Amino acid sequence: MTQYSVYKTDELLSKFADIKDESAEVNNFFNTFKFSSIVNQNIAKTNTTFVFKNAIKEDTIKSKIVMLLNKLHQQNLTKITSMIREIVFQTQDELYELVSQCIFKIKRDSDQIRPIVAALCWELLNTYFVTSDGEKIYFRKLLLSEVKKDYIFSINYNNDDWSKDKAEKIMILIGTLFNQKIIETKIMESIIFDFKKNIKYKEGETQEYYENVEKSIQLLSCLTSCIVLNDDSKKVYGDLDNYLENEINIYEEVKCIKKKDRLICKNCIYELRKN
């Protein structure tokens, strides 16, 4: 029968210091190890060996995903896609790590890299993890679920964690995924409708309302600047240009939003009307 040992924190860290293993995976684990991350795991807390192996494995999956995404460029998209598909995702958290890293890269990387990451996401939409009950959890479902959470956060201007930078990165994410047809037309139409509603002039509203109008104009402008103007996007926009023109004419008269934001709105209208 296998024997397991349970160590106290000090004893455990002392044993770490004596290990001279040259394995890259193990060394990487030691360098990033935090005892709290082990304590907080609700699995096999009396089985030290299993917990450590599990933590090393999770770190290895993340490292592999980050490494592959960092190597991604137009010429090796097919190769990187194949290599990611070769990863055996044994838990939903591992598949979620892939989703979160792709989202992070779209938000943070250059305009040249974002479409390539979105193309990778398109190729991975049918990647899935099978639960113990036999249910398939798809990359697509996790991705769109996270995008939805991000979008709700981006227009919740009263959230203490809200910032223009975070919200604009979410607009970049949404626009990039829409260009790749990962976000469907009906979803984008709903987003545009939300912005129209949030920008609409209402007489006698509070200063906070008009400040939120300014934020909505800024985010809508960011979103439309990320979307390729073609027949599909024009269909989504509908009468958005005329709607914005009517609203901004009112705001020009009452001047309850900043001139800067009125100019942003006018520029957005101009861009929407380009052929």
d(CA 169, CA 112) in angstroms, rounded, equals: 15
Residue 77 forms part of a structural domain: no
d(CA 8, CA 189) in angstroms, rounded, equals: 57
Residue 195 forms part of a structural domain: yes
Instruction: Note down the domain range covering 14.
Output: 1-54
We report the CATH number of the domain holding residue 188 as 1.20.870
> Has residue 56 got a pLDDT over 50?
no
The string of pLDDT tens digits covering residues 96-121 is 999 999 999 999 999 999 999 999 99
* DSSP helix/strand/coil, 154: helix
Q: Go through the chain and tell me how many residues it has.
A: 275
User: pLDDT class for 37, splitting at 50, 70, 90?
Assistant: low
User: pLDDT class for 212, splitting at 50, 70, 90?
Assistant: very high
d(CA 69, CA 66) in angstroms, rounded, equals: 5
Residue 131 forms part of a structural domain: no
Of 138, 143, 139, 72, which is closest to residue 103 (Cα–Cα)? 143
Contacts 24+ apart (CB under 8 A), 58-63: 58/93, 58/94, 59/25, 59/28, 59/29, 59/32, 60/25, 61/87, 61/89, 61/94, 61/97, 62/97, 62/101, 63/28
* pLDDT confidence of residue 90: 80
DSSP state of 61: H
Same structural domain, 37 and 151: no
Decide the pairing of beta strands 128-130 and 136-138: antiparallel
User: pLDDT class for 3, splitting at 50, 70, 90?
Assistant: low
Whole-prediction pTM = 0.78
The average confidence (pLDDT) of the chain is 86
Quote the number of domains for the chain. 2
Radius of gyration of the chain (CA): 24
Last residue of a domain, one of 38, 54, 70: 54
Beta strands in the chain (DSSP E): 128-130, 136-138
Q: Which residues contact 235 (CB under 8 A, 6 or more apart)?
A: 185
What are the tokens at 201? 């002039």
Residue 211 forms part of a structural domain: yes
